[in-house]
Amino acid sequence: MIAIYNNSKIENFLFRLSSFLIILLPWFLVTGPFLPDLVVSLTSLFCLIYIIYNKDYHYLKDKIFTFLIIFWLYVLIRSLLSTNPLLSLESSLFFVRFAFFYILVKLLILNNNYFVKRFTYSLIFCFSVIVIDSYLQYFTGSNILGYKYHGERLSGFFGQSLILGSYLSRLFPLFFGLIFLVFSKNVYVYSYSLLLLVLSDLIIYLSGERVAFFYLLLSTLLIVLLSDKWIKIRLFTFVISILIIFVTTSFNDQIKKRMVNLTYNQIINKTVSTDEKNTESKFHNKFNVFSNEHEKIYITSLNIFKENVIFGVGPKLFRYYCKKEEYIKYGGCRSHSHNFYLQLLTETGIVGFLFIISIFMLVSFKLLKQFINKYFNKKQYLDDFTLCILIACFINFFPIIPHGNFFNNWLNIIIILPICFYSFKKKI
């Protein structure tokens, strides 16, 4: 069945347990940060023990693994040398588990013929339950768990966290790619998945998360422009989604205010000035980067960065430095910089920033090469599934939008999960 299971009964059990836990990971991500982080920690620990015990080090020659280990070593050293190492180590010390988690998932994909199919079933079922529950909340004002909907932000099972749209949109490229690769010959699952795509598109919009809806638009645009066989599928489902979204917005003033009016008002911030002679108030439009609040945070981050250009102040220490007198005046003191690139510039300096920008540049180069090959050389550089994985990376690391905390465990799992499936197409 699977080669790595044949060594001993204990290894057999642990690999099966790891496979079971990872298959359920999409569900655990809905419950909050604790359970998914526990799964990643346990499975990565087992992976490390397995490799050391069996002296099976060839898995560690993987380029992505090497990249993650080098980044971890850098942020670990930076934390140890920071002004507040105990606080900083909370973000950096256990970041290494994502490298071994990646190796374990890759190992399961390459050796277990049933893992990917079962994971895809789990993902479809999870999306279905989340979407159905969200519609229940939208139409009745309350979901299965009793979380209320007040007409502006739809949350579903995520309750007060308000990350329903983020969850669906970030996992959308992986969800889309796995469905149409694994179940392309199953007409029932295939047809149901088309319906689920449309329903998911609308829920992402109704969640009121503008960044999540941007992710959806961007990933859809890239799939339509760059894919080979899946263009018609995504174009068909998204056109239907847009029509429903347009009708919904026309009849829902709360959604329109948040998704359209609020976005415009935050970007074009109206300021007031008074003429000294005529004492007349005049309104001026000031362009902001996303919002006035985001702009304050970004200015604060850049000023902290200017004082620590090469190595930054240390992971998780933006919240510590922004309270200092020389930075508090900018009014942007928060727990993090709300942008991956600014956060790494501030907390890890130019050196740490090079890691993340290199990922984005590499992914962008591959997507650009796909575009050139498709439209000028009339051939495919990437298969459609690999393209979906790269699109997941592209939207997660797209620089010119607000982000969460780069060292947030829940977010790290959402980001690393699609990357783990990068080797799946090679196996096929």
More confident residue, 427 or 234: 234
156 burial class (0-12, 13-18, 19+ CB within 10 angstroms)? buried
pLDDT band for position 283 (50/70/90)? Answer: very low
pLDDT band for position 1 (50/70/90)? Answer: very low
Per-residue pLDDT of 202-217, as tens digits, reads: 999 999 898 999 999 9
Nearest to 395 by CA among 124, 155, 239, 172: 172
The residue extents of the domains of the chain are: 128-260
Mean pLDDT of 159-183: 93
Mean pLDDT of 385-412: 94
Cα gap 107→3, rounded to integer Å: 10
Per-residue pLDDT of 24-65, as tens digits, reads: 999 999 999 999 999 999 999 999 988 888 887 887 889 999
Mean pLDDT of 168-173: 96
pLDDT band for position 280 (50/70/90)? Answer: very low
Full-model pTM: 0.90
pLDDT band for position 2 (50/70/90)? Answer: very low
pLDDT band for position 4 (50/70/90)? Answer: low
Cα gap 79→88, rounded to integer Å: 5
Q: At residue 291, does pLDDT exceed 80?
A: no
Q: At residue 278, does pLDDT exceed 50?
A: no
Average pLDDT of the chain is 88
Cα gap 402→218, rounded to integer Å: 15
The conformation of residue 258, written as its DSSP 8-state character, comes to I
Nearest to 359 by CA among 305, 422, 408: 422
Per-residue pLDDT of 59-77, as tens digits, reads: 788 999 999 999 999 999 9
Place of tokens 């984005």: 360
Per-residue pLDDT of 239-254, as tens digits, reads: 999 999 999 888 887 8
